[in-house]
Structure formats: C-alpha cells, structure tokens
A and B are shown apart, each in its own frame.
Chain A
Amino acid sequence: MTTTPSSTGSQPAGNDYGTHPGARANGIFKGMSTGAGVLILVTLAAVATFLLVEAWPAFIASPEDLGQEVSFIKPEDGQSLMEIIGYLIYGTVLMSLIALVIATPISIGIALFISHYAPRRLAQTLGYLIDLLAAVPSVVYGLWGVAVLVPFLNPFYQFLADYLGFIPLFAAPESGEIFTGRVAMSAGIVLAIMILPIITAVTREVFLQTPVLHEEAALAMGATRWEMVKMSVFPFARSGMVGATMLGLGRALGETMAVLMIISPGLTLSPYILQPNQHNTVAGYIALQFPEANAMGVSSLVAMGLALFVITLVVNMLARWVVSRRSEFSGAN
C-alpha cells in the first residue's frame, strides 16, 4: 500500500505493515467459496431429510394398512413395500450392471483410441461425436430403443436363448410366450449407450494426462504401444477409470425414461434377462406409479427413492475405497 503522509502521519509507524488492498477481495472470495462448499452439505442434508421425513409414514405403517391404502402394494401377493423395494433394487442393479459390462470396455477402448492411437484430426472428430451422444435426451434414446433397437436385437435374443439357454441368464420365455425384446437386456443395452459418452469422456481425459515421462520410460525399454499402455497409462489412470465407471453407474441407476419406455415391467428376482415382465427399476417404477398415487402411496414411493439414494451412496463409497486402497502406489505421487 502506498503510504500518503496525510492519512498515516498521525498513526504509529507499525501501520506501514497493516492492511493491503487485496485483503478485502481475498476475504470476500474466501467467504464465497466456503459458502459454496457448505451449500453442498446443506443440499445433501436437505435431500436426505426430505426422503426420511416423507418416507416415514410408509415405514411405520403396518403392511396390512399399507396394502389397503395403497393400490400398488399387495402384501398378500408377496408385494409388500419392502418386497417391492427389494425387487426394484434388484432390477435397477441388474440393468445397470448389464449396461456397465457392455459400456466400460467399449468406452475404455474408444478413449484409448482417441488418446493414444488415432491421428490427431480423427481423434478430435471422434471426440466431438462422442460428446454429441451425451447431448441426446433420454426420451429419444427410449423411442429409438423401442422402435429400432428392440426389433433389431430380437433375433439375436432368440439365437442366444437357443444356444446358450441352458445358462439361466439367457433362458427363453416359457413356451407360449413370444420374444418381445422388451426385456432387461434391451434396457441394459440402451443404458450402455447412454453412459458410454460420460465414461469415454472422463477416461479419455485421464489417459491424456499420463505423464509423457512414464510413457517414454516404457517405450524406451522396448515396449510396444499396447505394452506401454499396460505399463504406464492404465496404472496411472486406474482411479480415474473407476471414477468414470462410477459416474456411468450413477447415471444408469437413476435413469427413468429410456427404461420405462423399453421394458415390460415386472416384479421378480429372476435372472432371466431375455424374458419380459420380470424386472423394473426404482426410478421407472416411481415414475409409473406417481401420477395415480394417494398420500400414503407417495410416501411409499419416496421410501423407494430413499432406497435408491442409499445404494447410490454405497456405490460411491465403495468406489472411493477401491480408489484409495493402493494410494501409496498411485500414479499421483
């Protein structure tokens, strides 16, 4: 601070080292960023509180009362609130896992091609196209899935059921039932396409950040490009890859429209991903029942939402744990 004799002359000499012009802006910025950080916590707490408070009536009501009040809860048919939540979480996780199993290797392959194999111009174009996939609304994916993908895939399902039907996963529908294609497998495939862009985008960024130093270390000792990727890129990007997959899983778990439009819903714990009327997701079920639900019905649906919230939380904590497990060896240090 420039000292002007008129303003500081009467004050003690130590004031030359007092405040400076940046102090106020620094204080304001500190306040703003702290506020933003706190806001996250407040929002999370508010959501959790809302879920707990709203779901509470459904949790404390006896199954019989709940069955009488809420049209879609039928304890006598094995569809009490808890049982429905169980079926739905099972269906949600099942379809999300199908999506992950399909999307993760493809995404990593695309990301690797863009970051380490493709010529620069092609890589850029491909990157834009992938990002464009993320911009397609999920309703459009749902329509496309029903109108194009399902009819296209149905013959493959029949083939799978004919030749691999002895594996429960691929068992054909009971005789008499026809292949509709509106099954968990189709929903999983559409979900895979939907989460592909996010996983690809994140892994691509991480792959690109691999230190050249480590890549050259591998190449200089006579590694092929693929060996270099295995020695330098993957270990460096491991936690990023897990993070990207979890982001994709997060999106798949909460996806409503596409699943709702594609699948013929059902409530079972069956592994038959090629059979209709077997599975539904939490989000899809809530969207389906919400318009007709009475007060207790809404409360039950919120309880289901709470369950989804909890599994998403668990998935994320699991991911953190996986990432941190070998942090001593991580590429970050």
Chain B
Amino acid sequence: MSKRIDINNLNVYYSQFLAVEDVSLSIEPKAVTAFIGPSGCGKSTFLRTLNRMHEVIPGGRVEGEVLIDGVDLYGKDVDPVTVRRHVGMVFQRPNPFPTMSIAENVLAGYRLNNKRVSNSDADDLVESSLRGANLWDEVKDRLNKPGSSLSGGQQQRLCIARAIAIKPDILLMDEPCSALDPISTLAIEDLITDLKDQYTIVIVTHNMQQAARVSDTTAFFNIAGTGKPGKLIEMNDTTTMFSTPSEKATEDYISGRFG
C-alpha cells in the first residue's frame, strides 16, 4: 500500500515558463517527507506533478521521470485518471463536496471505481475511513448532514478520510493546515503521524515547526528571484536539516533570516 517515489531530472512548465528546474530526489515509503520553502518556490507545483494534477491547469506539462516503484507516471501507457486513484491528495483549503453528506463525501472516490456498493460495505468503509482520519467519534451521529456543516479542521479530516477511503499508495498534502487554527492543526499532525504506518506521505508546508514535528525527511526548495525557476536546494533527514544544514540558503531560511 505504500510505495517509493524516485524523481529524475524533472522540469515543470506552465506553457513556456519553467516553474521548477531539474529536480531529482527520492521519497521513502512509510515515511513523511516535507517540502519547505518560501512562497512561489514551486513546492506545491512540484507536489502536483506527483499525481499528474499539474496538467489539469491549461499549459501545464513536465519533462523528466517520476517513478513510483519503478513505473514512470509520465510513461506512454499511463492514464492520469488511474494515477490519481493511486495517489491521493489533500488540498490547502478543505474542499468536501458541499452537496454531499458526510458519508457520501467519504464514499465519493470509492464509488468512482465501484459502481455498486452494498449498504453494509459502504457503512464499514465510511466507519473505517473516518476512524482512520480521527473523525468518527465527532460525526458518527450525523453522517447524513452535509459535509459543509463541519468546522474547518473537521472538514479537512473529512477530506483525508475521503482520500484514504480509496486506499491510495501515496498521500500528497498541499499545506493541509494553512487554513486551520492551532488545535485543528495539531489534530491533523497527529493524524499524519498515525497514517505514515500505512502510507507514503508527502506534505508541503509553510510552517517550519510543522515540518520539524511531523516529517522524517525534509526537502528545501528556493527561488533565485521572480520569474526564475524554483530549485531543490537540499534534502536530508529532518533532524539534520534543522540542526546542521549543509547549504547556506537552507540555514538562512530555517533560522528565519528570510522567507
């Protein structure tokens, strides 16, 4: 259920504009990898290439390889829709489907693959997914209420439940706590730590303390200036990154000297 990702010489473009230049890195299974860096450095753009969401934006394209357990995501016979069924994603702002109930939201992705789901299977899946997202106890009595009736933090955990309901190999999180208060943030961080037993997790964050708290490995992205492509500066064990970074730029960033 958890897979390793190897990225080789990846360039990410918006039409002719090179947004992220020449990234090569490896992401370990059953671990949390954090991408940090200043705004506009391309970390979110890069994250979106890992489930081919980047090309949803008109003009979005990449050059290079993204290998998941050796299979190139950008290979000839690969359908982006299928890729996204294996690589789940959680967004910056919670986005449950407003017209669906809490239970329907959890089942939404699962129903794409399985047109017919028996009621008992559906109930089991809703419960296990919501338990997996630490939300079950809070919503078990109102599963038929709309997802938008929940608080922001609960909505975000609902989105995580929805993502893990399709049992992905990898879970991508694009600044999942940036719209949440500190208590909800803590709940999500605890959840991330629980989830890494089963999934490969990649998280983009603005919050360096968060990266330090939840991740095993940290990658630092930086940008030379507006209009220049973002680059991977350094990637290492989170403890090493935050104690003895090898690059000057990394040290400046994590010590708060810029960004």
A216 and B112 contact, CB distance less than 8 A:
no
A235 and B98 contact, CB distance less than 8 A:
yes
CA distance A328 to B142 in the complex (A): 14
In the complex, what residues of B have CB within 8 A of residue A329's CB? 98-101, 146
B85 and A219 contact, CB distance less than 8 A:
no
B97 and A221 contact, CB distance less than 8 A:
no
B84 and A219 contact, CB distance less than 8 A:
yes
Residue of A whose beta carbon sits closest to that of B113: A222
Contacts A223-B112, A227-B112 given; does A235 touch B97 at CB 8 Å: yes
Instruction: Say if the beta carbon of A23 comes within 8 Å of chain B.
Output: no
B95 and A221 contact, CB distance less than 8 A:
no
A214 and B97 contact, CB distance less than 8 A:
yes
A222 and B81 contact, CB distance less than 8 A:
yes
- Segment from B86-94, B189-197, B243-251 that makes contact with A: B86-94
A220 and B91 contact, CB distance less than 8 A:
yes
CA distance A326 to B58 in the complex (A): 34
Number of interface residues of B (CB under 8 A): 32
Instruction: Say if the beta carbon of B159 comes within 8 Å of chain A.
Output: yes
CA distance A291 to B34 in the complex (A): 80
CA distance A326 to B146 in the complex (A): 11
Query: What is the 8 Å Cβ interface bit string for chain B, positions 104-119, against chain A (1 contact, 0 not)?
Result: 0000110011000000
Residue of B whose beta carbon sits closest to that of A221: B109
Partner of A217, one of B86, B95, B99, B148: B95
Instruction: Say if the beta carbon of A236 comes within 8 Å of chain B.
Output: yes
Contacts A221-B162, A223-B112 given; does A214 touch B58 at CB 8 Å: no
Instruction: Say if the beta carbon of B208 comes within 8 Å of chain A.
Output: no
B81 and A236 contact, CB distance less than 8 A:
no
Of the A-B pairs whose beta carbons lie under 8 Å apart in the complex, a sample of 24, sorted by A's number, is A120-B58, A213-B91, A213-B93, A214-B97, A217-B95, A217-B97, A218-B97, A218-B108, A220-B51, A220-B84, A220-B88, A221-B84, A221-B88, A221-B109, A221-B166, A222-B83, A222-B109, A223-B81, A223-B84, A223-B112, A235-B98, A236-B99, A329-B146, A333-B146
